[in-house]
Amino acid sequence: MDKNKLKYILIWLCVALVIVLSIFILTKVTEDKKEQEEEKETTEIKYKTNTSYDEKFTIDAPDTYVQVEEKNSLNKKGIIELNDPDKSSYILLVTTSKVNLNKDFNTFKTESFAQKESFYKTKITNYEKITIDNHDAEYGEIYYTNSTGINIYIRVYVVESDNYFSQLVMWTVADNEKVVAEEYDKIASSLREK
């Protein structure tokens, strides 16, 4: 066989090898991407409905949140008390009946935020008016350092419903703020008076 034919055969074999390797690599990349998408689908956050102790309210939270071990351990007036141990995140709902309460929503909201500022000795920031279940609501954020030096991020929602004013308070370590901010909004938007 002459050298030119051998040269062409080697070139074609190299081209064929490159094509086969390219197809193999593309197939592998496509399979890996498909596996990642399937894994992402299986790790999607699942929400579950949690009912208040008095069975008058519900809230949807990721299924990673569990009832605190001891009732009213977060607050003696708490009617929903949940925590996600992996995120060091907590949810607390406290309600006040509007019956015989001579306050409108704005007064209740102002007093609630002032109470939180006094308790945490810091100002609430980033106020935002929102609507929850077709009712007026507003939230603010608190950045607080506790007595052990841990920085805490707190989101306080004040909500009006048909028969109640509510304070929905959610908090976590400050490093988790970006992880939970959207989650907190979704949880708050699910709050319902039964």
Q: What is the chain's mean pLDDT, rounded?
A: 88
Do 193 and 161 contact (CB within 8 A), yes or no? yes
- Amino acid at position 167, single letter: Q
Radius of gyration of the chain from its Cα atoms, rounded to whole angstroms: 27
pLDDT reported for residue 43: 64
Q: Which of 18-22, 108-112, 113-117 has the lowest mean pLDDT?
A: 18-22
- Amino acid at position 147, single letter: S
Express each pLDDT in 31-73 by its tens digit. Answer: 777 776 666 555 678 999 999 999 999 999 999 999 998 899 9
What count of other Cβ atoms lies within 10 Å of the Cβ of residue 42?
7
Grade residue 3 by pLDDT with cuts at 50, 70 and 90. Answer: confident
pLDDT reported for residue 37: 67
Alpha helix segments (H runs only) across 52-193? 105-120, 177-189
Task: Kindly report the CATH class assigned to 47-193.
Answer: alpha beta
Element (H, E) at 14: helix 3-42
The domain limits of the chain are 1-44, 47-193
Confidence check: pLDDT of 1 > 80: no
The encoded tokens of residue 128 equal 């935002």
Grade residue 100 by pLDDT with cuts at 50, 70 and 90. Answer: confident
Residue 134: phi and psi, rounded to 5, are: 60, 25
Task: Indicate left, alpha or beta for 146 from its phi (over 0: left) and psi (-120 to 50: alpha).
Answer: beta
What count of other Cβ atoms lies within 10 Å of the Cβ of residue 33?
10
Grade residue 185 by pLDDT with cuts at 50, 70 and 90. Answer: very high
What count of other Cβ atoms lies within 10 Å of the Cβ of residue 135?
17
